[in-house]
Chains A and B, each alone.
Chain A
């Protein structure tokens, strides 16, 4: 093919609305159309990749300078018609009596049905399966494939305590403390939602709502507020805050798996987990560093997402995947 034609091909892609939308939505919008397009133009993969790189590079996002919450408060106070000062409600004595009575009833109810014996229950998500399971009090856990939690269902009302292997997201009803135990540390909360990742010797806790207390196995403790992330690096518990509303605070729940400078082998393991395939590749590739993401809807898309940035090629044969250097 003539050089000019290739340029024209790339130029057309770069200027195509649907192509821009597809790349900028991290390969979500119009994905079916572009998956087909790639299959049909597989011999021009280099040109397509360059066009993708180009559009990705044209991201003119500056560091945010405006405190959007404060600005909104100002706008709201000047536009909202019915902001009145909060009413002060006086606490009436009879309400106090009612409150004490209901607490008493609650205590009776809690202690009455208790019996002895251990009732260990395990929820396990098998390969390729993501499950959401309830605890006796209505709290819930979402388990990534290959992860499991164990808890004592009989003692649940006395102590809410689970042990976790793998990656899980917890939504906790308000109540007494809720404890998650892992090899690398312990997480204690009241009522909140948070994600815990213990895969591949990692230990990472992300607090989505409420407050979360994290105690590492090395004895360091930290309290996380919403958006807070605690990561164990060596023996040190490192904390940081992700901006509110940041995309993918707990992205795996939405089916997006993000990786930040991790060994490629971990990415491959997650692919195998999500799709139940076996990936074959040269040993040297396992230690490459990868930063990026994949979505767990189509195997083809996921493999494309994790191979093009590293200039790798993939092929699928049944349940086996082969990844090689270009």
Chain B
């Protein structure tokens, strides 16, 4: 079933649809939110409230062709608002959240054996050199598999900005990565 159909069922009040949406997206939402804050209680509460709200407001919800996009937009706005409140920063959700760090780490790189460690470390270092917004865009693109258009909506920035953020970020990461592959190749031969 595609997102459009599932969303329609939700709007019609089928509780199963809510459950399905939850099951399909919970891990992705959790992972996204945890990049803004390590506080898993805050993340859990926010996700809880979002799902309860979606259900309560189901009849007035707009249409969406990408449920994960809809949820990410809502989650992002809400989590930034709550972090801002906790840290006493007014209007953080409207700024480009320079004050907030988007933390990316690579814990499950699935590359072979001891290479996994080397690989993680190298990328880890390279990731540190990127800006929060670059990291967030790359995360949405490569972890959530989002299209550029959807990333625009979630991050509330222009198409060209998204492309630039990702392009430059990837080039930076890849330079590190390629150097690393070259070194490993050298050591192995």
Q: Which residues of A contact B (CB under 8 A)?
A: 10-11, 14-15, 17, 20-21, 24, 50, 53-66, 68, 71-72, 74-76, 78-81, 289, 291, 309-310
Contact = CB atoms under 8 A, between A and B. Distances in A.
A78 B113 CA distance: 46
Interface string B54-71: 011000000000000000
Contacts, number: 114
Contacts of B55: 75, 79
B170 A57 contact: no
Given A53-B181, A56-B110, A62 B31 contact: yes
B142 A75 contact: no
Interface string B24-64: 00110011001100001001100110011001100000000
B30 A61 contact: no
A57 B109 contact: yes
Contact of B52 (A11, A61, A62, A75): A75
B47 A60 contact: no
Contacts of B22: 68, 72, 75
A289 B113 CA distance: 9
Given A15-B167, A20-B142, A71-B47, A62 B34 contact: yes
Interface string B85-118: 0000000000000000000111111111100000
B15 A60 contact: no
Given A20-B142, A50-B178, A57-B109, 16 more contacts: A11-B167, A20-B141, A20-B145, A50-B177, A53-B181, A54-B173, A55-B142, A57-B111, A59-B142, A60-B104, A74-B48, A75-B18, A75-B22, A75-B55, A81-B15, A309-B112
Contact of B31 (A61, A68, A71, A74): A61
A80 B56 CA distance: 10
Given A54-B177, A61-B107, A75 B167 contact: no
Nearest to A76: B19
B47 A66 contact: yes
Interface of B: 15, 18-19, 22, 26-27, 30-31, 34-35, 40, 43-44, 47-48, 51-52, 55-56, 104-113, 119-120, 123, 138-139, 141-143, 145, 147, 166-167, 170-171, 173-174, 177-178, 181
Nearest to A14: B170
A63 B18 contact: no
A58 B143 contact: yes
22 contacts: A10-B174, A11-B171, A21-B145, A24-B142, A50-B177, A54-B174, A57-B106, A58-B123, A58-B138, A59-B108, A59-B109, A60-B142, A61-B107, A62-B34, A63-B107, A65-B43, A66-B26, A66-B40, A79-B18, A79-B56, A291-B112, A309-B112
Contact of B44 (A21, A63, A71, A81): A71
Given A11-B170, A15-B170, A62 B105 contact: yes
A288 to B, nearest CB: 10
A103 to B, nearest CB: 37
B112 A14 contact: no
A78 B177 CA distance: 47
A60 B124 CA distance: 11
A64 B112 CA distance: 22
A14 B30 CA distance: 25
B30 A60 contact: no
A60 B106 contact: yes
Contacts of A14: 170, 174
Nearest to B181: A50
Nearest to B135: A60
A61 B15 contact: no
B112 A65 contact: no
A21 to B, nearest CB: 6
